[in-house]
Amino acid sequence: MLEFDRAGKAIKNLLIWNLCDHESTVADWACLSRVGVKNECRPGHWKQGFAEGLDMNVLMLRWLCLLTLSLPLLFWVGHVMIRDGPSPAAARKGLEGYKRIKPDRMDQILDINCSQCALVSSSGQMLGVGAGEEIDKIGCVIRMNNAPTKGFENDVGRRTTVRVVSHTSVPLLVKNEQYYFQQSAETTYVFWGPERNMRQDGKGHIFNALLKMAKKYPNVRMYAVTKDKIEYCDGVFQNETGKNRMKTGAFLSTGFFTMILAIEMCDSIHVYGMIDDGYCSRANHSVVPYHYYEQNRINECKMYKVHEHTQRGGHRFITEKAIYAKWAARHRIEFKHPSWSL
């Protein structure tokens, strides 16, 4: 956001420069050269013009000059906002790009802000760490998909403030709707998925299932990530990696959407159980389940490597972790169990 402020000041200075009565500068000559009227200028031209009443054509040329200088700055501002990833919570009042799922209306703003957040990974890294009490003391606790707390309270805690859920995990929540939407009614749910599953014209089967749950449990706050927000996240990925997500055959992970949401809603973030991008390459890395609640599934590093190199339909888990390391240098993000060397 610092770059945004600097760009704004630069544009403001250009406006002042346009309106002030002063001698011609190098900028006057350079600017008018761009529009092919350098020969019509001479030192003191503008001061004399203001005193005698400027010709309308000259005024139009000067504003054209201002526009010529301003447009590159405006394009640069837009690039910086995507390049630097999500804006921190302190810069926002409510979060855009999230629609409330309700039978009667679709709110465009997710109104949530937390001073401190615990983002709890679903990784088997959480097993045996005993971080549950520490996590529950943090103001807001963010979890992903259908990761349970029951039976794992000592390691992952009991509370859930926000749960970010992939379209592929929605059937798992619906199957256990009493636990997720009745017993955990205080939780805010954020669902993401491709347009074909989340469309709201009656043909999006995942959205239809969520709308049914929203009608059945009207007090539960359910939000859907908008199409524009998903495209924004694609742009963030491309700016961080230089690669077009769709052309590489990859899908963003739930963790990617969760990290972006966490940066937007939290002033500081404590991430639990997430490995860095080089972890699986180390000879002494721990072998743990991909999910802490699925003991007999493939181990985490094998899953990451398969997804990282698959041609179509995989998540770039390792690449995403490298992106998070960049964001940690720009935001207040701390990684625990394991810790990261940043």
Task: Tell me how far apart the alpha carbons of residues 323 and 256 are, in angstroms, rounded to a whole number.
Answer: 9
pLDDT band (50, 70, 90) for residue 163: very high
The position carrying tokens 């520490």 is 134
Task: Tell me how far apart the alpha carbons of residues 214 and 100 are, in angstroms, rounded to a whole number.
Answer: 10
Task: Tell me how far apart the alpha carbons of residues 143 and 159 are, in angstroms, rounded to a whole number.
Answer: 9
The position carrying tokens 């940690």 is 328
pLDDT band (50, 70, 90) for residue 191: very high
CATH 3.90.1480.20 spans which residues of the chain? Answer: 92-336
Q: b/e per residue, 213-239, with b = 16+ CB within 10 A?
A: bbeebeebbbbbbbeebbebbebbbbb
Q: Across all residues in the chain, what is the average pLDDT?
A: 81
pLDDT at 243: 83
pLDDT band (50, 70, 90) for residue 250: confident
pLDDT in tens, 286-318: 999 999 999 877 899 999 999 888 877 788 999
pLDDT in tens, 50-78: 444 445 555 565 656 555 555 555 444 45
For the cut 90, the answer to whether the pLDDT of residue 285 exceeds it is yes
pLDDT in tens, 89-134: 545 567 999 999 988 766 668 999 999 999 999 999 999 999 999 9
pLDDT at 339: 96
**pTM for this predicted structure:** 0.74
Position with higher pLDDT, 25 vs 262: 262
Q: Which CATH number is associated with domain 92-336? A: 3.90.1480.20
Task: Tell me how far apart the alpha carbons of residues 298 and 302 are, in angstroms, rounded to a whole number.
Answer: 7
pLDDT winner (highest mean) among 82-86, 247-251, 336-340: 336-340
pLDDT in tens, 224-237: 999 999 999 999 99
Contact by Cβ (8 Å): 289, 295: yes
Of the chain, the percentage scoring pLDDT greater than 90 comes to: 61
